[in-house]
């Protein structure tokens, strides 16, 4: 094929793009009166440095020059030539450090490079299309520099913005001032990324830095949440965001909102997209799926998304300047996973500032958004008290750790995955299934039952301790028709917990009205136990969630951290939620696998980005031939493993005996010997159709009814770096710490040597400083270790410190300690009924708090509601200060 000359590239590729953007193409003629020309692309425009291929004339002024090159040349390298022409425009009213036009382009008809020359910090970049005349006219009138300065001087003092959220706002604004166009904000799940960006959006709109804002999500439910966040945000005292600026969205379903909500979001008028006007200032919340349809039509690829396609979505001719700013929420998801991803192409269409939001930055996210301008990680959020940490329990299951071994003669159930019909069979020979096949090829009901029974024990302990049954989220392996692990867990859990169907529910994409079920799980007592696969892995807020069960093996750090993120929020209906519990049903190996996870991970795209037909074409076109031959061999080997016997018969028409495995192993040699002849077969349309749509074997699931699993569990005590300790090693470290640090923690010295100084302040200092150590000596961790080591549950912190210093000291609970104190201390006179009532309240408070102060009587409701300090001291005839000192000293003694 002959090389396409530049003149052909211009007429065939560049001219149509300029016309599509609204420019009329005309040759330059000597003596032209430019004042009569607007919205023209003038060819061969003369400059003192030679003729420019195109000069864009707007309102009688040359505002841009375009350097065109033939298709085979890279346009980025010739931007400097466009700069030279920009310096040679005669009689121009513009002068930007010697450049006599504000904008330049270079293009080969496929790729367009663009540079705004008005500020030396502006970076050149690719754009998907040429700007329209209106876009350039708007840019010429913008006051970006002064807007940025106004933003910089505007103090961020919103009363509801947390310090780290203000830090994120400042980092974004500095990046914009530095002329960055793509950036990433990484904030841990539950720290309010959306709220942070709503505040940022208001600041950018109010200052004039950006007026037309696109807020992209990849689920309609998340779009509904975002719309509500904008509508409820109080931008100024007494003034909601949506009363200051227009907030639009796509159409929603009734179930996208809470049942009690009377919220009626406004649908964006189509002309806002098609004809962006300088005066418009609005936020458009939209799914990326819908925007992809708007840009590329319904045939665009949506990968593995199960999000339903909007029926009213249609392809539209949206210009690249439709938005000034795009915020891509949860941007670790599909649309930055691969270079050719259609979702990435959607983002690339617009020439706008782009901000990616994620809790889990990955290498492929960085490849697109380029730089993390702000990071607020989980560890810091826990340290600062905005999120809660987790305790870990390792469940040791022989089935989950070693797989399932079936003996010869053992009876199994066989479930037909296509119909659900079940038959029974006896194993004719022994057979081993490894752990990867559990719940995919075989299931053990006994294993699932024993694991859930173990979870129930912890739930009942939690209920006894905190007075509430914990909200439990269980991640199952799959939810396939007829062989669903999720369905099996729901059925068994209803037996194990014994509280009816409503108590245990499945929430996956296959249930009716899943969003309503999610809301019920979040807002109502039931369901208390929910089984899911990945629907609740991200983007769903359930603040009161306290148990997360991993019955699904996970290898993706991003997915793992998103799953963990469901439990990190502080409680709403359970304000005393201090932590959540993670159950690793793979013996702690999941937690161990991810313990050393870095902040950014290089995870490959989950889906192949090229079909086998495209790989064959690349081999034929000699594109990186050796690499693509290796890829082709692996694809053929994979097909050989996945195809049915019928497929082998069909492949026999193209490959000897249909033996695709042997064909694949010989392919490299065959291509070397006869490339054209071998490729003739691979390029055969019928053969390619079979390679894409080969029959698979009918899937079935074996049910190992006779398999008996062995299940046990243990707490994994973690320090601040994620290292795990056996209970005895943890207590040894605690004993060493207590003996070596009394001079650093005054409360330890008080407990060991000066009990008369014990009080509320000493107890607070003790808890705070112990928890802040690298060992994380929290009350919960220490109680766990004592329970396992000494079989003593709920040992109080005083006992633990004293026992760590002197092993002969007894271990007792707070209740035992306070009863002992009151048994030893008897008042000189018999108690009046009113004194006894107060004493009962004081005893209850001391059991919960292990100390008491004068201030407690006016701040604690059980005291304050019946008269507070004044009444209590009168009841005890003014002796209460002395009694408080005696009680505190006796507690610490």
**C-alpha–C-alpha distance, residues 537 and 247, integer Å:** 28
823 and 806 within one domain: no
397 and 486 within one domain: yes
Tell me whether residue 231 is in a domain: yes
Q: Using an 8 Å Cβ cutoff, are 373 and 175 in contact?
A: yes
Please report the sign of the dihedral spanned by the C-alpha atoms of residue 787, residue 791, residue 797, residue 803.
negative
**Selection from 215-229, 734-748, 871-885 with the highest mean pLDDT:** 871-885
373 and 298 within one domain: yes
Q: How confident is the model at residue 332 (pLDDT cuts 50, 70, 90)?
A: low
**C-alpha–C-alpha distance, residues 310 and 312, integer Å:** 6
Q: Which residues sit opposite 356 in a β-bridge?
A: 184, 328
Q: What is the DSSP string of 516-552?
A: HHHHHHHHSS--SEEEESSTTSSS---TTEEEEEE-S
Say yes or no to pLDDT of 37 above 90: yes
Question: Residue 33: which CATH number?
Answer: 3.90.1570.30
Tell me whether residue 358 is in a domain: yes
User: Which pLDDT tens digit goes with each residue over 811-828?
Assistant: 999 899 998 888 877 655
Q: How confident is the model at residue 281 (pLDDT cuts 50, 70, 90)?
A: very high
User: Which pLDDT tens digit goes with each residue over 74-91?
Assistant: 777 789 999 999 999 998
Within a 13 Å sphere around the CA of 72, how many CA atoms are in the beta-carbon half? 7
Say yes or no to pLDDT of 255 above 80: no
103: domain range? 6-141
- Ranking 439-448, 712-721, 754-763, 877-886 by mean pLDDT, the lowest is 712-721
Question: Residue 364: which CATH number?
Answer: 3.40.50.300
Residue-wise burial string across 757-768, b where 16 or more C-beta atoms lie within 10 A, e elsewhere: bbbbebbeebbe
Say yes or no to pLDDT of 364 above 80: no
Could you give phi then psi for residue 121, rounded to 5 degrees? -80, -15
The pLDDT value given to residue 607: 46
Last residue of a domain, one of 668, 701, 734: 701
Report DSSP state, residue 702.
Answer: E
107 and 149 within one domain: no
**C-alpha–C-alpha distance, residues 85 and 481, integer Å:** 65
Tell me whether residue 826 is in a domain: yes
Give me the mean pLDDT over the 409-420 stretch.
Answer: 91
Neighbours of 46 (CB within 10 A): 16
Could you give phi then psi for residue 290, rounded to 5 degrees? -65, -45
The torsion defined by the Cα of 747, 751, 754 and 758, in degrees rounded to 10, comes to 60
641 and 553 within one domain: no
The pLDDT value given to residue 253: 63
Tell me whether residue 419 is in a domain: no
- The helix (H) or strand (E) run that includes residue 172 is helix 163-177
The pLDDT value given to residue 827: 57
Cα separation values, 250 from 134, 190, 194, 253, 287, Å: 26, 25, 18, 10, 8
The pLDDT value given to residue 1: 43
Tell me whether residue 409 is in a domain: no
What angle do the packed helices 797-805 and 760-771 form, to 10 degrees? 70
Tell me whether residue 431 is in a domain: no
Say yes or no to pLDDT of 345 above 70: yes
Give me the mean pLDDT over the 103-108 stretch.
Answer: 95
Q: How confident is the model at residue 639 (pLDDT cuts 50, 70, 90)?
A: very high
The pLDDT value given to residue 598: 43
Q: Is 381 exposed, middle or buried (0-12, 13-18, 19+ CB in 10 A)?
A: buried
Say yes or no to pLDDT of 492 above 90: yes
Beta strand 325-328 with 372-376 is unpaired
Count, residues in the chain: 893
Q: What is the DSSP string of 125-162?
A: EEESSPPPHHHHHHHHH--HHHHHHHHHHS----TT--
The pLDDT value given to residue 596: 58
Q: What residues have CB less than 8 Å from 388, skipping those under 6 apart? A: 382, 567, 568, 569, 570, 577, 578, 579, 580
Q: Return the HEC string of 731-798.
A: HHHHHHHHHHCCCCCHHHHHHHHCHHHCCHHHHHHHHHHHHCCCCCCCHHHHHHHHHHHHCCCCECHH
110 and 239 within one domain: no
Whose CA is closest to 193, among 452, 436, 377, 403? Answer: 377
Say yes or no to pLDDT of 600 above 60: no
Tell me whether residue 424 is in a domain: no
Give me the mean pLDDT over the 170-178 stretch.
Answer: 96
**C-alpha–C-alpha distance, residues 188 and 383, integer Å:** 13
Expressed in percent and rounded to 5, the helix, strand and coil fractions of the chain are: 45, 15, 40
Please report the sign of the dihedral spanned by the C-alpha atoms of residue 354, residue 358, residue 361, residue 365.
negative
156 and 33 within one domain: no
- Ranking 147-156, 328-337, 636-645, 789-798 by mean pLDDT, the lowest is 328-337
502 and 394 within one domain: yes
**C-alpha–C-alpha distance, residues 162 and 144, integer Å:** 28
**C-alpha–C-alpha distance, residues 681 and 418, integer Å:** 34
684 and 673 within one domain: yes
Q: What is the DSSP string of 32-91?
A: --GGG--SEEEEEE--TTS-EEEEEEETTEEEEEEEE--TTS-GGGGHHHHHHHHHT-TT
Last residue of a domain, one of 701, 730, 753: 701
**C-alpha–C-alpha distance, residues 815 and 891, integer Å:** 11
149 and 39 within one domain: no
The pLDDT value given to residue 306: 56
Give me the mean pLDDT over the 577-583 stretch.
Answer: 90
**C-alpha–C-alpha distance, residues 806 and 343, integer Å:** 64
Q: Using an 8 Å Cβ cutoff, are 303 and 266 in contact?
A: no
Tell me whether residue 103 is in a domain: yes
349 and 445 within one domain: no
Say yes or no to pLDDT of 537 above 70: no
873 and 763 within one domain: no
Last residue of a domain, one of 760, 786, 812: 812
Q: Which residues sit opposite 389 in a β-bridge?
A: 579
The pLDDT value given to residue 116: 96
User: Which pLDDT tens digit goes with each residue over 287-325?
Assistant: 888 898 999 888 776 554 556 677 788 899 999 999 999
Q: Which residues in 243-332 belong to E strands, given as ranges? A: 246-249, 266-267, 282-287, 325-328
The pLDDT value given to residue 261: 55
Say yes or no to pLDDT of 340 above 50: no
Give me the mean pLDDT over the 781-795 stretch.
Answer: 87
The number of distinct structural domains making up the chain is 6
**C-alpha–C-alpha distance, residues 755 and 767, integer Å:** 17
Quote the distance between the C-alpha of residue 130 and its chain's center.
34
């Amino acid at each position: 094929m002959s090389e396409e000359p530049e003149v052909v590239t211009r007429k065939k590729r560049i001219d149509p793009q300029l016309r599509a953007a609204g420019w009329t193409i005309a040759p330059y003629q000597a003596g032209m009166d430019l004042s009569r020309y607007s919205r023209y692309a003038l060819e061969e425009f003369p400059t003192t440095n030679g003729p420019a291929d195109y000069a864009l004339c707007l309102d009688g002024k040359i505002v841009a020059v375009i350097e065109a090159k033939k298709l085979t040349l890279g346009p980025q390298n010739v931007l400097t030539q466009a700069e030279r022409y920009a310096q040679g425009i005669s009689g121009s009213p513009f002068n930007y450090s010697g450049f006599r036009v504000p904008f330049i382009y270079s293009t080969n008809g496929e790729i367009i490079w663009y540079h705004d020359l008005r500020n030396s910090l502006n970076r050149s970049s690719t754009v998907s299309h040429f700007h329209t005349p209106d876009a350039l006219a708007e840019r010429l009138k913008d006051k970006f520099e002064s807007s940025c300065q106004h933003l910089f001087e505007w103090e961020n003092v919103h009363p509801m913005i947390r310090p780290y959220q203000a830090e994120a706002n400042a980092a974004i604004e500095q990046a914009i001032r530095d002329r960055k166009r793509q950036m990433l904000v990484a904030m841990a799940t539950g720290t309010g990324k959306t709220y942070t960006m709503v505040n940022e959006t208001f600041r950018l709109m109010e200052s004039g830095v950006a007026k037309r804002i696109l807020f992209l999500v990849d689920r309609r439910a998340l779009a509904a949440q975002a719309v509500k966040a904008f509508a409820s945000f109080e931008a100024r005292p007494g003034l909601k965001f949506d009363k200051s600026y227009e907030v639009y969205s796509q159409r929603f379903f009734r179930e996208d909102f809470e049942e009690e909500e009377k919220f009626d979001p406004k649908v964006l008028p189509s002309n806002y997209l098609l004809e962006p006007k300088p005066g418009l200032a609005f936020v458009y919340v939209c799914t990326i799926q819908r925007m992809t349809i708007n840009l590329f039509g319904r045939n665009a690829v949506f990968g593995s998304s199960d999000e339903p396609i909007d029926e009213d979505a249609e392809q539209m001719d949206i210009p690249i300047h439709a938005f000034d700013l795009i915020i891509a929420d949860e941007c670790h998801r599909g649309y930055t996973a691969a270079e050719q991803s259609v979702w990435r192409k959607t983002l690339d269409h617009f020439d706008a500032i782009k901000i990616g939001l994620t809790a889990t930055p990955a290498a492929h996210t960085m490849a697109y958004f380029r730089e993390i301008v702000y990071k607020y990680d989980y560890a810091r959020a826990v340290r600062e008290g905005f999120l809660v940490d987790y305790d870990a329990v390792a469940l040791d299951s022989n089935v989950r750790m070693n797989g399932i071994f079936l003996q010869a003669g053992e009876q199994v159930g066989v479930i037909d995955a296509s119909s659900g019909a079940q038959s029974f069979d006896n194993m004719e020979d022994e057979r081993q299934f490894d752990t990867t096949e559990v719940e995919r090829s075989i299931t053990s009901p006994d294993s699932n039952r024993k694991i859930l029974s173990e979870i129930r024990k912890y739930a009942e302990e939690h209920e006894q301790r905190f007075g509430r049954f914990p909200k439990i989220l269980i991640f199952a392996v799959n939810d396939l028709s007829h062989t669903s692990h999720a369905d099996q867990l729901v059925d068994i859990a209803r037996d194990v917990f014994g509280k009816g169907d409503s108590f245990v529910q499945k929430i996956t994409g296959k249930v009716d009205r899943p969003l309503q079920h999610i809301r019920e799980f979040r807002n109502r007592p039931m369901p208390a136990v929910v089984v899911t696969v990945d629907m609740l892995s991200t983007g769903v807020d359930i603040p009161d969630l306290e148990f997360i069960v991993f019955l699904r093996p996970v290898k993706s750090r991003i997915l793992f951290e998103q799953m963990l993120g469901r439990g990190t929020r502080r409680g709403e209906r359970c304000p005393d939620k201090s932590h959540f519990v993670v159950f690793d049903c793979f013996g702690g190996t999941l937690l161990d696998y991810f313990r050393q996870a870095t902040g950014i991970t290089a995870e490959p795209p989950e889906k192949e980005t090229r079909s086998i037909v495209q790989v064959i074409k690349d081999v034929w076109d000699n594109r990186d031939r050796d690499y693509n031959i290796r890829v082709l061999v692996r694809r053929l080997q994979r097909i050989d493993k996945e195809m049915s016997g019928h497929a082998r018969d069909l492949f026999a028409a193209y490959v000897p005996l249909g033996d695709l495995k042997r064909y694949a192993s010989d392919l490299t040699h065959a291509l070397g010997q006869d490339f054209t002849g071998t490729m003739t077969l691979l390029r055969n349309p019928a053969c390619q159709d079979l390679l894409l749509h080969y029959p698979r074997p009918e899937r079935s699931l074996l049910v190992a009814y006779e398999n008996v699993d062995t299940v046990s569990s243990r707490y994994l005590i973690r320090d601040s770096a994620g290292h795990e300790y056996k209970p005895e090693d943890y207590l040894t470290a605690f004993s060493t710490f207590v003996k070596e640090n009394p001079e650093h923690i005054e409360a330890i010295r008080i407990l060991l040597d000066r009990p008369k100084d014990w009080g509320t302040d000493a107890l607070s200092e003790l808890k705070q400083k112990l928890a802040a150590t690298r060992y994380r000596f929290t009350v919960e961790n220490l109680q766990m270790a004592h329970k396992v080591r000494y079989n003593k549950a709920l040992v109080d912190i005083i006992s633990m410190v004293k026992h760590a210093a002197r092993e002969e000291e007894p271990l007792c609970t707070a209740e035992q300690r306070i009863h002992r104190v009151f048994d030893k201390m008897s008042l000189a006179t018999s108690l009046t009924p009113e004194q006894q009532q107060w004493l009962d309240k004081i005893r209850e408070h001391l059991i919960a708090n292990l100390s008491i102060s004068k201030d407690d009587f006016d701040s604690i409701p059980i005291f304050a509601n019946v008269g507070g300090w004044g009444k209590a001291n009168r009841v005890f005839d003014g002796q209460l200060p002395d009694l408080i000192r005696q009680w505190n000293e006796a507690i610490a003694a």
